[in-house]
Amino acid sequence: MNKTIQTVESAAAGSAFLIEDVYPLIDGGRFAVKRIAGEPVEVWADIYRDGEAVIAAALIWRREHDREWRSEPMSHHGNDRWCGAFTPVEPGQYVYAIEAWTDEFATWSHAVARKRRTGADVSLDAIEGAGLLTKAHGARQDAAAVIIRQCEDYLRNGDVASLLAAELGKAMAESQSRPDLARSPLFPLTIDRDRARFSAWYQMMPRSQSALAGRHGTLRDCIARVPDIAAMGFDVLYFTPIHPIGHTSRKGRNNAPVANEGEPGSPYAIGSAEGGHDALHPELGTIEDFRALVATCLEYGLELALDFAVQCSPDHPWLTQHPEWFKWRPDRSVRMADGPYSDIVIPDFASVDRVGLWNAFRDAMLFWIDHGVTIFAIDNHDTAPLAFWEWLTHDIRHRRPEVILFSKTYARPKLMKGLAKLGFAQSFTYFPWRTEKWELEQYLGELTRYPERDFYRPHMFVNTPDLLPFHLQSGEAWAFKSRIALAATLSGNYGIFGGFELLEHEAIPGREEYLDSEKYQIRQRDWDKPGNIKPYIAALNRIRNENAALQQTANLRFLGIEDGETIAFVKEATDPANTVVIVIALSRHERECWLPLGDVTVDAGGQRHHVTTLENLLTGEQSRVEWGGARLRIDPDRDPALLFRCLA
């Protein structure tokens, strides 16, 4: 007999319900949907069965490793579409599912009510309904009291009306047996803290923070800079690697293949005789200095983020302690990386002792977490397999759910999205290379649609130690302001690399790289250099902190402004009382433009109203909206961005 043919018995034992078209869901539930702690998780699904029986449904959810389920009812919205919501209040890994069952008592009461309206005899139906009351079990005390009271009323007066009371239906809905209960598969859910959705990062090279020319910066020098960074409104201080740097194959200035005497090398060549991924570069200071830095950051409202690169210099202690973790050539030399990365060694993540290697990287991360690091930016993802990243993100989240992991890669689009699905809380974007209006609108449209909006949290860096985009290489202040205004308002997460506020723009000719990059040498700066845009950055960050609409990315809609070199969009907070409109010039010339607001509405007293007034968030000036819009004038040399709060 062909075993693929379903028997009558197995078919009859199947579920009476179909639960399908579930939202949100990533790749059929293979990957987790992402949400923020304390916010409702809304779930929609089509739930139906044959016949006219009354259906009930609920959302069940729990932490991934808990045993006890929590439950929230779902409501019917027509055409077999159901919705419900639940609210996890703590970060972590969760699972949820949908349950459906036949509400036998409601099915009975609806049928009896129809018969009564036709004048038919329902005496036998009443007896059947009373019998259903005997199936109630596990009812709460108040529900049990209602069931007993209504049953006694019926037995005393014989009137079926006693069994059709609304309060009895409600009591039975939660108390009757559910013999045909059906449950969907379990769906994964990641809950992160709010910093995963909203953050402003300031990245710096710790060794370049000394005020004395030619002197290697220390963690104490970094502590001295914390007040200045906090005053600009940043909430994450992000360090490039702080570990000992190898000497073998050390890179020189501007990525020269051989370093001269005294040159510090790239901090991404991790490991020397002084230690590896769980050690500090000696010239930066001691672990006590590091603890003092963490404490100072917390005092000023900053969190500390570290680069975490899964690569080694040839001098890393692991090469001698665990040679099986690396690939060796026929001449017994270790296999180095190629091209511009010839100062590093890539571990063999498929080695015979891959468990030991994977755990070693995990333990190094836990070491820094134990010393107060709450955020890690993961560099060079291509050096490790996808399975490693999925394991690492889940392992860390299970142990320390408050930790945020940021995927820095800007490789192929599908790889970037794949890494986000695997577990990274934030992801780098192509924002640095999206300069035209249509490019920005198309790209943000992609990032804010379904399903990307449910697993990919964009992080828009304006520049990085590796990247000086062409559009900043002129050094024009309006361009720097325009780009940071775009990043800070389009995305809930954005960042800059130190020196941006000073309009640093000297590049290697023809390339998007800094000349005399700090990756290969130590630099000192006057952080209050004339012409800096620190006050502008501080104002942007203040406005972000005061407007919940700017603290997220997904709820974004572009407005049809006619000027092809001016971009406009509206963002609305989860709390609909806060709606902002942003208009930003993408070129230097002055312009006037019409801002259409006819279809923009705001919440006022629980009702939607058209916008009547725009409040300038920088100046506080208010202007009336007439004829469904407003006439604006923009002078990019003064300020390329206009930021408004919408009022009804």
Q: Burial of 351 by CB count in 10 Å (0-12 exposed, 13-18 middle, 19+ buried)?
A: middle
Q: What does the pLDDT read at residue 5?
A: 54
Q: Burial of 96 by CB count in 10 Å (0-12 exposed, 13-18 middle, 19+ buried)?
A: buried
CA-to-CA distance for 237 and 203, rounded, in angstroms?
A: 6
For residue 404, what is the DSSP state? E
CA-to-CA distance for 39 and 344, rounded, in angstroms?
A: 43
Instruction: State whether the Cα torsion 452-456-457-463 is positive or negative.
Output: negative
Residue 486 φ then ψ, to 5°: -60, -50
For residue 91, what is the DSSP state? -
**Nearest in space to 219 (alpha carbons), one of 210, 211, 232:** 210
Six-digit token pair at 292? 């003092």
Angle between helices 219-231 and 287-299 (to 10 degrees): 10
- Looking at this protein, which amino acid is placed at residue 536? Y
**Nearest in space to 423 (alpha carbons), one of 462, 459, 396, 400:** 396
Q: What does the pLDDT read at residue 1?
A: 42
pTM for the full predicted model: 0.93
Q: What does the pLDDT read at residue 489?
A: 98
**Which residues of the chain register pLDDT less than 70?**
1-14
Q: What does the pLDDT read at residue 6?
A: 57
Going along the chain from its start, the domains and CATH numbers come out as: 18-191 (2.60.40.10), 194-312+352-550 (3.20.20.80), 556-647 (2.60.40.1180)
DSSP string, 13-65: TS-SEEEEEEES-BGGGTB-EEEETTS-EEEEEEEEESSSPPEEEEEEEEETT
Radius of gyration, CA atoms only, the chain: 31
